Structure 1
Amino acid sequence: MALRFLIVEGNTRPEREKHKRSFGTAYSESYAAAVAPHAPGAIFDFAYPADAGANLPDGGGLSGYDGVFLTGSALNLYDMTPEVTRQIELMRAVYASGTPAFGSCWGIQVGAAAAGGSVAKNPAGREIGFARRITLTETGRAHPMLAGRPLAFDAPAVHLDIVETPPCETTILAANRMAGVQAAEIRHEGGVFWGVQYHPEFSLGELAAILSRYGERLVREGFCADLDAARAYVEDIRALHEDPSRADLAWRHGLDDEVLVPARRTREIANFIAAAVVPTKAARGRA
């Protein structure tokens, strides 16, 4: 029987449309495309809790899914606007349903807040382009979410906020100098959530599309000397997407196969499906 997933898009409609204009799809659609190779024949539904009046599944509806994925978002969780609080409430319902969930960036922040943790602006500043030297904790080395990852690796990343205070039942699996929580398992109200602060679902093409909208901020925050340098950086990332064998560009930007090879970049997603989704489906008698 095919797996059935719910992709929860964290963005508002204007942000979804902006991403479609620069990349061709919404974040939730590209997330589904990243999941699909690891779950052939999977069925995907989409939810948009940032939209007022959105039709969101209740507890019974959520328990009908085999897994839930939470995308990134341009929102800031600590603003606690209705666009934010609806997503926290939905995540609380996901926990209560017992359906395993996985989230990236904004996703781990929502997973933490829904279980009693807190999120804040990162005092170390923005982490953008790639999160460098994400290092597994001792527990993370044995955790199935990070199976196959080296002890330290890089991954696509775009975030200013971080999980400041993890919830009580949190196991931190990876960290780096920019964030004390780069990967974690959170248990709450009988549910389990696996999340990462980085973006394993981002292709380099999608990352380039996002970075192309950050030009002035990259200059203002000191990442690039000027707009020409920002544009050149984006073009290098786009060129690597089109031809991952470009050893010159990989060397220039310090990238290896953990980023360049899709099956390795999306390893956490594959592990989530194999180690959390499939066993839960079997336990529920839906194998």
Structure 2
Amino acid sequence: MSTNLLYLGNGRKMQSLAKLDDRFESWGMSVDRRWAYNGDFPASLDGYDGIFLSGSPHAAFDDVPFIHREHDLIREAAEKDIPMLGICFGSQILGSALCGRDQVFRRDFCEIGYKDLPVNEAARTDRIAGNLGSSVHMFVWHNDEVRAEHPDMVILASSDLCPNQIWRYRDQSIWGIQGHPEITAEQAPIWFEENRERMVQDGGDVDALKFSANEASEAKTMLTNFAALVKSA
């Protein structure tokens, strides 16, 4: 029997440069691609074994119809105990839906660059973060972020500027990742160049970022571990 993953595309394009939906398929899952940004949602969550939530140019607190709909879907999925993973905006809307809309806020300045994120002790036994060492190298780029103080959040990794880089909701199979483990070393320079103007505006040195682009392989184990967990559920 096939494993069915609901892939919610929250960006201006259904498929991002990272093509993570294709990678989920290559890891043995049937992927139902839904362009949530354009209002495309399934009528029911029946039959889905897992859900992935992508990034977005929007904030989780924006008053936009698809964001309200996605909040409802997340809460329903949590009640049904469907595993979920969100990256960047995906992490933020998980936090907003499950822990309150005031859980997401806009920073005074952007956090951008490749960073070594200290990993907390709670990650050692976590089902997707358990392969991480004492720190994990990953590219981060965000103006919005999820607060770290909520009692239903288990913080798995942080940075010097953001105390909630990777988190889990309670003991459920629900995770948020603020950074971008999905971006490969080959894709990163293309992404940086395509977003040069915005990255410079956000304080990034695009040429230095392109030079330092790397695979961040350890961070990617969270993606493959999530896929394996969904397949085994």
Instruction: Name the TM tier (shorter chain).
Output: 0.7 to 0.9
Q: CA deviation at 1:168?
A: 3.6
Gapped regions of structure 1 (runs ≥ 5): 18-25, 225-229, 237-252, 281-287
Structure-2 separation of matches of 1:134 and 1:261: 12
**1:49 counterpart letter in structure 2:** A
Q: CA deviation at 1:233?
A: 4.0
Structure-1 separation of matches of 2:170 and 2:63: 23
**Which aligned pairs between 1:41-120 and structure 2 lie closer than 5 A?**
42-52=29-39, 54=40, 56-58=41-43, 61-117=44-100, 118-120=103-105
Larger radius of gyration: 1
TM-score between both structures, scaled by the size of structure 1: 0.71
Structure-1 separation of matches of 2:140 and 2:201: 18
Shifted more, 170-179 versus 209-218: the winner is 209-218
User: SS state of the match for residue 27, structure 1?
Assistant: coil
Native 8 Å contact 2:87 2:180 kept in 1: yes
Structure-2 separation of matches of 1:148 and 1:183: 14
> CA, structure 1 residues 222+51, in 2 after alignment: closer, same or farther (shift >3 Å)?
closer
Partner of 2:6: 6
Tell me if 1:206 matches 2:190: no
**2:230 counterpart letter in structure 1:** V
Native 8 Å contact 1:126 1:159 kept in 2: yes
Shifted more, 76-85 versus 193-202: the winner is 76-85
**1:4 counterpart letter in structure 2:** N
**1:223 counterpart letter in structure 2:** G
Tell me if 1:272 matches 2:226: yes
**1:267 counterpart letter in structure 2:** T
Q: Deviations over 1:139-183 (max 9, x none)?
A: 122322112211112112222110025544211111111211111
> CA, structure 1 residues 108+218, in 2 after alignment: closer, same or farther (shift >3 Å)?
closer
Native 8 Å contact 2:120 2:156 kept in 1: yes
Native 8 Å contact 2:158 2:166 kept in 1: yes
- How high is the sequence identity, in percent, across the aligned residues? 23
> CA, structure 1 residues 233+267, in 2 after alignment: closer, same or farther (shift >3 Å)?
same
Tell me if 1:27 matches 2:8: no
Partner of 2:178: 197
Structure-2 separation of matches of 1:212 and 1:167: 36
Q: CA deviation at 1:48?
A: 2.0
Structure-2 separation of matches of 1:133 and 1:271: 20
Structure-1 separation of matches of 2:84 and 2:32: 14
Q: In angstroms, what is the RMSD of aligned CA positions?
A: 2.5
Structure-2 separation of matches of 1:28 and 1:49: 17
Q: CA deviation at 1:69?
A: 0.7
TM-score between both structures, scaled by the size of structure 2: 0.86
Structure-2 separation of matches of 1:46 and 1:71: 11
Q: CA deviation at 1:76?
A: 1.2
* Structure with more helix by fraction: 1
> CA, structure 1 residues 135+234, in 2 after alignment: closer, same or farther (shift >3 Å)?
closer
Q: Deviations over 1:175-232 (max 9, x none)?
A: 11121111111149xx6311211122222333333322332333344433xxxxx3x3
**4+ residue runs over 6 A deviation:** none
Structure-2 separation of matches of 1:208 and 1:104: 19
